[in-house]
Chain A
């Protein structure tokens, strides 16, 4: 059977021995944890698109602060009330200034003698405000609420969790009981109580949401801190006598970062939902102030006749929620490879 093989005279010469076997070289350059997570995130199309959408909405809503502000939105223009969307050059019913009134498409701009050249891309509300402007402004409010809630998560929640987990023992016990009690009250109830006590409005909404949002973060951080505490490098740092604050900053926070990022991404949509929810039922921000919840509340009243007044803010709110949820899922998968399927 050996005849099949082509053997040359030098076939059986010994190979020079390599110092190290070749295949011990590491094939791919090793990536740092964050780079690796970023690479995984980029492969997740939904999360990536969400990221860009959120970025776009942020730039749009915060960038618009120069043109659209509280003052421009309070001024009403009754002559322009309840106009449907009109985008010049778009001949599609619903976006050309026409509105379906009892089965007929009627040009509302002509009916109301709106001067030529005046148009509202998303129509107007019942006081003649540009809906597009209000939506942009409302989105900004939602994002601000979300950012502030996140801020409390990051400060109060993270610090509370680290201290509770790090101190352990009695302190931990008491701190956990406090969290337990806070979370046996539906956060909605806390929010409502805060709103009853404080004057309804932007600040109280933010305060209320902030107060009820940090407990989950604190719990997760504590659990993780408990684990990290017994890790070798932390033990080493401790035995070297580094100060607790320094250890927390240098060793704990970086290792907690994925949990922090993931958890933050769950706080944001919750906060956005709460603002919209409270304003919608009329105990949060209310007209003539603007937020997505306020717009939905306004729009819902006229939904039968002017459905666009609810649809547009609803779509923006849903897109915002979906984008944050998708990005949150993407980040979780990217930072926590164990959870990937």
Chain B
């Protein structure tokens, strides 16, 4: 079995606001295996960024961890002091942000920005740090790196800037790389290039990646496993094939259904909006938008039902007593594909 380098258990995070406590993360558990890419997908506001920020110890001031643990190398990150977190950040766990246009310091040469983590963590002098910065800058594919290392961020395009942000994140060869929607702000062709780059670097640098996105489309080529988040909870997780071809949760169905495919041209967005996290519903949070909702969905929160060793989903539809429902056409098609795939494997 693969080595687990990160193990999140029953994480609960609240934000104190004037209107009350926003229960942003509610009993979230997941783990990350060494060398793999875990994708976390979900609509805007589902708590993806909050989850990753808690891994970095960078939660906003009004956040409070209500419970749970984040085990990293046998130690609970949540119990670390700020000093200890500073030694982990950038060195062992690094992060790529969503908007490359705003995530670089406009007044500092990019060479220095890349060198900073080295100077901080490896305690090497500036000259050497710049030399290493240059190497990584070449690695992320900035042409003419020797010259450009002395430039300022505004002299680069969006795609180049994201490469620089990646360089900053990878310069200390971190064990875990968190990429929070790294391509959302870029246009499609650049998106593909950046994703390609991340994949290449992952094998060179041997890092595990947590890949955050609200777009299932980019997940297929990137991730080994997928966790689907809704309203502060994980509702389904499994390998990429299991989530794409054998989805069980109606929310996952909705997400897949709203994804453009080769065969269907119409996009079906999930109707309705996520629940108010100030006062989350007591049953299945998705019930209000779920066309397959049952009485029990509004009464009790569903537990995780096992689909396979690697695949779990939190929906009452998987309860043995639940009636069989017919998923949307597109999902039925996927389920059929999955049946064929598994049939092949078992032969």
A touches B (Cβ under 8 A): yes
Q: Which A residues between 4 and 19 are near B, CB-CB below 8 angstroms?
A: 4-7, 10-15, 17-18
CB atoms of B293 and A14 under 8 A apart: yes
CB atoms of A21 and B295 under 8 A apart: no
CB atoms of B295 and A12 under 8 A apart: yes
CB atoms of A23 and B293 under 8 A apart: no
Number of residue pairs A-B, CB distance < 8 angstroms: 58
A9 and chain B: residue at smallest CB distance? B321
What 4 additional pairs, Cβ within 8 angstroms, besides A12-B295, A13-B294, A24-B272? A2-B320, A14-B293, A20-B272, A24-B273
* Residue from A2, A17, A23 in contact with B275 in the complex, judged by beta carbons closer than 8 Å: A23
Contact with B along A70-110 (1 / 0, CB 8 A): 00000000000000000000000000000000000000000
B299 close to chain A: CB less than 8 A: yes
B298 close to chain A: CB less than 8 A: yes
B65 close to chain A: CB less than 8 A: no
A-B contact pairs, 11 of them (CB 8 A): A6-B300, A7-B296, A12-B323, A13-B294, A15-B293, A15-B295, A17-B293, A21-B272, A23-B276, A23-B288, A24-B273
Q: Which A residues between 214 and 247 are near B, CB-CB below 8 angstroms?
A: none
| CA A288 to CA B288, docked complex, whole Å | 77
Task: List residues of chain A with CB within 8 A of the CB of B272.
Answer: 20-21, 23-24
A43 and chain B: residue at smallest CB distance? B18
| B-side interface size class | 20 to 34
Task: List residues of chain A with CB within 8 A of the CB of B297.
Answer: 15
| CA A12 to CA B316, docked complex, whole Å | 8
A31 close to chain B: CB less than 8 A: no
| CA A11 to CA B293, docked complex, whole Å | 11
Contact with B along A162-183 (1 / 0, CB 8 A): 0000000000000000000000
A1 close to chain B: CB less than 8 A: yes
CB atoms of A21 and B293 under 8 A apart: no
B318 and chain A: residue at smallest CB distance? A2
Residues of B whose CB lies within 8 Å of any CB of A are 271-276, 287-289, 291-300, 303, 316, 319-323
CB atoms of A14 and B292 under 8 A apart: yes
CB atoms of B273 and A23 under 8 A apart: yes
Kindly provide the distance from the CB of B314 to the nearest chain A CB, expressed in whole angstroms.
12
| CA A15 to CA B296, docked complex, whole Å | 9
- For chain A, the count of residues having a C-beta within 8 Å of the partner chain is 20
CB atoms of A21 and B319 under 8 A apart: no
CB atoms of B288 and A7 under 8 A apart: no
Kindly provide the distance from the CB of B292 to the nearest chain A CB, expressed in whole angstroms.
7
B291 and chain A: residue at smallest CB distance? A17
Kindly provide the distance from the CB of B27 to the nearest chain A CB, expressed in whole angstroms.
15
Task: List residues of chain A with CB within 8 A of the CB of B292.
Answer: 14
Take A21-B288, A21-B289 as given contacts and tell me if A10 and B273 are in contact as well, using a CB distance cutoff of 8 Å: no
A315 close to chain B: CB less than 8 A: no
| CA A21 to CA B291, docked complex, whole Å | 10
CB atoms of A21 and B271 under 8 A apart: yes
Task: List residues of chain A with CB within 8 A of the CB of B291.
Answer: 17
Most buried by B among A18, A23, A27: A23
Take A7-B296, A11-B296, A13-B294 as given contacts and tell me if A2 and B276 are in contact as well, using a CB distance cutoff of 8 Å: no
CB atoms of B295 and A2 under 8 A apart: no
Task: List residues of chain B with CB within 8 A of the CB of A23.
Answer: 272-276, 288
B296 and chain A: residue at smallest CB distance? A11
CB atoms of B299 and A11 under 8 A apart: yes
* Residue from A4, A6, A13, A27 in contact with B276 in the complex, judged by beta carbons closer than 8 Å: A27
Kindly provide the distance from the CB of B18 to the nearest chain A CB, expressed in whole angstroms.
10
Kindly provide the distance from the CB of A22 to the nearest chain B CB, expressed in whole angstroms.
6
CB atoms of A13 and B288 under 8 A apart: no
Task: List residues of chain B with CB within 8 A of the CB of A15.
Answer: 287, 293-295, 297-298
CB atoms of B319 and A12 under 8 A apart: yes
Task: List residues of chain A with CB within 8 A of the CB of B288.
Answer: 18, 21-23
